[in-house]
Copies of this chain bind each other. A is one copy, B any other.
Amino acid sequence: MSTDSTSAATTESPFVLEGRPTAQLIADQLREQIVQGAFLPGQQVNESVLAVQLNTSRGPIREALQRLSQEGILVNKRNRGVFVRELTSEDIREIYAVRQALESTAAEELLASPSETIEETCSVLEETLGEMAKQVAVSNWQEIARLDMQFHTSFVSGTGNSRLIRSYKTLAAESRMCILNLEVSYPRVDALVEEHQVLLDLLARRDRKALLRAIRLHLEKAVEDLTTQHDKALGA
C-alpha cells in the first residue's frame, strides 16, 4: 500500500471534479476507506502520499483531513500529522450513549411526523434490511457493518432534522470504526437482522414505548458485545 503502481486502485476516480465540493469528495472517500479498515488505528496518514495517490495537491487533502479530524475519526498532532484514532472501551460507551440519545429523539420525532413520512422511512429501512439479510447469508462482514449503520442512519434521516442527522452521521462513522477494529464483532448475526426487524416493526406499528425500549436494549447490547470483544482483543 506504499507507493507502487497498484495504489492506483485506491484512486477510485481519475478526475476528482464532478461539479461538487472537491475536498468533501476526498473526505468521503477517505472516511469510507478508514471505516473499512484500509488504515489501521494509530497509523499516520501522510498528506503528500495521499496527494499523489489521489492525483491532486496537498491543499484539498489538508482540508479533507481536517474535516475528518473534526469528525473525530482522525486525531491531529501539532507539527506531527494526523493519525487514525484508536478507540477504547470508554470511547465505545461514549459513542453509544450519544447514539441512544439521538436515536430516541429521532423515534419521538418520527412518531410525531405524518404517516406518509413514517411509511416512507419504513420502506427505506425494509430495503436496507433485505440487503443486510443477503450479506449475512454470505458472511460479508464489511457490508454487514455498513448496512447496519445505514439502517440506523436512515432511521434518523427520516426525521428530516438536519442537525440530528449531522450529529448522528459522525457517530455512525465512529461506530463503524469500533466494529471494524474488532474483526468478527457480531457474535450472532441472526440476532442482528432480527433485532433490526423488530425496530422496523415497532416503528411501523407506532408503538412508541416499545420502540424506545427496543432502541435502548439494542444499543446497550451492542456496547456489551463491543466492549467485551475489545477487552478480549487487548488481553490477547
Binding site for B on A (CB under 8 A): 20-21, 23, 59, 62-63, 66-67, 70, 72, 76, 78, 94-95, 97-98, 100-102, 104-105, 109, 161-164, 166-167, 170-171, 174
Contacts and interface: CB of A to CB of B under 8 A. Distances in A.
12 contacts: A20-B78, A59-B59, A62-B63, A63-B63, A66-B66, A67-B70, A72-B163, A97-B163, A98-B161, A98-B164, A101-B104, A167-B167
A122 B84 CA distance: 36
Contacts of A98: 102, 105, 161, 163-164, 167
A55 B162 CA distance: 35
Given A21-B76, A21-B78, A164 B97 contact: yes
Contacts of A102: 98, 101
Chain multiplicity (copies): 2
Given A70-B70, A101-B101, A101-B105, A95 B163 contact: yes
Given A98-B167, A163-B174, 10 more contacts: A21-B78, A23-B66, A62-B63, A66-B67, A67-B70, A72-B163, A94-B163, A98-B105, A98-B163, A167-B170
A95 B105 CA distance: 12
A80 to B, nearest CB: 12
A76 to B, nearest CB: 7
A31 to B, nearest CB: 13
